[in-house]
Structure 1
Amino acid sequence: MKAAGETTLKKPTLIILIFCCTVLLVGCSEERILERLSLPTLIGYDVNEENTEITTTAVIRQVSPEFESRIEIQSATAPTSKGTRIDTNLKTSRKLMAGQLRVILLSENLAKNGIEGALHTTMMNSEISTSVYLAVVEGDTKDLLEYQFPSIKDIGQHIFSLIDQNVDERLTVSSTVHEVSRDLYSPYKNTVIPIIKRQEESIMIKDVGLFHKGKLVGKLPSKDVFYILLARKDVEQGTLELLLPKDGFDIDDSKQELQIDKLPIAIDSLDSKRSIKIVNSDTPEFDLTIKADCRLLEIHRSVEISKMEDLKKIEEAVNKEIKKELERVIKYGQEVGSDVFGFGDYYFTHTRNPHITEEEWSEKFKNMKVNIKTDIRVLRNGVFE
């Protein structure tokens, strides 16, 4: 029995009511007509020598009512990035909306002075996704973006695709706004960002930049990216090129057109597992173990690989070379004071009552000891099996 005066909405009436509310809510949203908007896909930031003014260069896509798009480059200089946006708006006939932004470029000079300001500005803009890539430009971003590349029609989309596909191939590090801000605001871990440059009539990822407290403090060539990845996380796939010493290999001299000092080798399909253990929390001292399965993709044809013992020799040489390269890359990180490998995070979370400040960890990191053990297995050797 229902109490007196109690009413119950029937299902059809309830559905109609919900539909009407939905229509009203949608109608209250801001109307954004595509052909009335300017859509920046890439923004580059430069600073002057005195670090008092910012130059913003934007790659903007304009869409016509016929859905044909064209690309224009707009640049503005002001004391703040917001001021440059106002100046850019004054030069365009359509309102700027940053929802299609894919890449933010930072000049090398800005990176050396610190990226925290640019990152803070980006994160304050609710239109910008945290999946936007950050990259550093060797030189000024304005010079790169305004250069007339004969084979590049949309430089914004080109740079985005360049970074994105190399991240997928494990040839550079992923540096989205989310990832960079996470590392930047962590007191025990530093960030690493790709560095791009113009190479004659093309654009390439040349290096990766190592940061400390938001400032660029060092560079490593792109060929070292895989060692950074191996040291900081598990890696599912990737390709690695190595130069192995000739000692210990049976070389068929009749197949050598030229004398070689090192044996080039390529391995791929690495499925690596990384584990860290604290041996001594005072020094500190870590055991870093890298286990990986890989496939022999390419090796100099003068090396016989038809027998199992030949593959074992290759395994031993690969393990020694990867261990040596890991030691070199980690040592360089210590020299410039950039812990992009995550030793500090592990130390803080696995040491009882660490009570350690960011400055104290920086000193410990420079003097830490890392015992590296590699267990690399060659499971297949391509078309030879």
Structure 2
Amino acid sequence: MKQFKLIVSLLLSIVLVIGCADPKILERVGIVTLIGYDAGEEDKVTVTSVVRQVNPDYQSTVNTHTETEATGEKTRLKVNLESSKKIVAGQMRVVLFGEDIAKEGLDEMLHALIMNSEISTSIYVAVVEDSAQTLIEGQYKNVTDIGQHIYGIIEHNIEQQNAVSSTLHEVVRDFYSPLRDPLIPIVKKNGENIEISGTALFHKGAMVGEFPIEDTLYLMMVRGKFRHGTLELELPSEGLSAKDDLETIPISIDSIKSYRQMKLVDPAVPEFDLKVIVQCRLLEIHSSISTADRTIVEKLEKGINKILESEISRIVNKSIELHSDHFGFGEKYRADTRNAKLTEEEWHEIYKNLKVNVKVQSTIVRDGVFE
């Protein structure tokens, strides 16, 4: 009997707790799916919101609202004043930052986002080439919900490793790390389409440069494990083909898998050895070249190594020139150096003299569709 009374009391408590919760009935709220920030005049911020509303017949409409105020919260208040429904951000999927505001610095914007308990840290963050407002308010064929559309583009390309992962959690983690800077994908409007066009580099909270989309594969190789990818290269024909009219041999490799090994070899410089181990499949090559000959395959691997080493060195050196440490050299330096209690300023003073020796070890594990 006592056990029965206990169960009844527990159920009543649960009912009371649920009854006290703030109900957000779908018909009574406007759901923000995407927000874009741009630099406004006189140190103000222009916020463009994509809001989905559902009517009593469960038919939904998508509207955009643009306001310019001193804070993002004040713009949301103005949108609420213009709406017959309460605006909520619990289903937001993407935050976009216009290029101008990204170059000014995202510290305040990111701080406001993480302070909002409605917003999940799993939402995606991206920089817009030019203006976020222009991209959001653009006309696109067969797109009814621009917020969901942009979310799908970013999520798909991150899953396929065509773009760096940029959840709010990851971006904020790197922003507030004294020894690491974030990378954020760049999206742009291209006619009636939206596409990912590159990757933005940051230093001290501000965008300081970018890499084109073609460099994403090299970025992913250096940042850590890379699961799959495709790459087209041109190798010198010497020693590969008997045809005299071929100066270079175009090849295509795919199923690229890689991981990195980073070693601090001289803390005084500082100097690192960066080794990238690559496995790939030879997808396409000129018919005059026989891949049944192991000597030819080894020459192909050496040619691939040389090109990848050159490209990765270029990526690393550009990052050093822009003072953006998004590869984690600072964290590795602190972990491997005894009593290295570095501040952000101290590390970036050291970082500008960083020397990185890049070594690539590639292996062609398959030839075409056959083992």
Q: Structure 1's 110 and 243: CA in aligned 2 closer, same or farther, altered over 3 A? A: farther
Distance apart, 1:67 and its partner CA: 2.1
Kept after mapping to 1: 8 A contact 2:309/2:359? yes
- In the aligned structure 1, how far is the partner of 2:177 from the partner of 2:286? 45
Counterpart among 156, 160, 163 of residue 154 in structure 2: 163
Alignment match, 2:178: 187
- In the aligned structure 1, how far is the partner of 2:157 from the partner of 2:247? 30
- In the aligned structure 1, how far is the partner of 2:24 from the partner of 2:273? 56
Q: Structure 1's 17 and 363: CA in aligned 2 closer, same or farther, altered over 3 A? A: same
Local SS of the residue matching 1:367: coil
Alignment match, 1:37: 29
Task: Letter of the 1:95 partner, please give it.
Answer: K
Distance apart, 1:374 and its partner CA: 1.4
Kept after mapping to 2: 8 A contact 1:252/1:303? no
| Mapped pair 1:27 → 2:19 | yes
Task: Letter of the 2:305 partner, please give it.
Answer: N
Paired residues, what number? Answer: 371
Matches within 5 A, 1:239-254: 239-250=230-241
Q: Structure 1's 161 and 265: CA in aligned 2 closer, same or farther, altered over 3 A? A: farther
269-278 vs 69-78, greater mean Cα deviation: 269-278
| Mapped pair 1:55 → 2:46 | yes
Aligned-residue Cα RMSD (Å) equals: 1.8
- In the aligned structure 2, how far is the partner of 1:171 from the partner of 1:183? 20
Alignment match, 2:294: 308
- In the aligned structure 2, how far is the partner of 1:165 from the partner of 1:297? 24
Distance apart, 1:261 and its partner CA: 6.2
TM-score by length of 2: 0.95
Alignment match, 1:99: 90
Distance apart, 1:265 and its partner CA: 3.1
Alignment match, 1:206: 197
TM-score by length of 1: 0.91
Local SS of the residue matching 1:99: coil
| Mapped pair 1:297 → 2:283 | yes
Kept after mapping to 2: 8 A contact 1:344/1:361? yes
- In the aligned structure 1, how far is the partner of 2:252 from the partner of 2:300? 11
Distance apart, 1:113 and its partner CA: 0.2
Distance apart, 1:107 and its partner CA: 0.5
Matches within 5 A, 1:138-287: 138-250=129-241, 262-287=248-273
Counterpart among 81, 84, 90 of residue 90 in structure 1: 81
Local SS of the residue matching 1:16: helix
Kept after mapping to 1: 8 A contact 2:281/2:366? yes
Kept after mapping to 1: 8 A contact 2:40/2:68? no
Task: Letter of the 2:347 partner, please give it.
Answer: W
| Mapped pair 1:317 → 2:309 | no
- In the aligned structure 2, how far is the partner of 1:68 from the partner of 1:223? 41
- In the aligned structure 2, how far is the partner of 1:243 from the partner of 1:160? 35
Q: Structure 1's 89 and 264: CA in aligned 2 closer, same or farther, altered over 3 A? A: farther
Alignment match, 1:353: 339
Task: Letter of the 2:11 partner, please give it.
Answer: F
Question: What is the aligned-residue identity percentage?
Answer: 45
Gaps of at least 5 residues in structure 2 are none
Alignment match, 1:72: 63
Q: Which has the larger radius of gyration?
A: 1
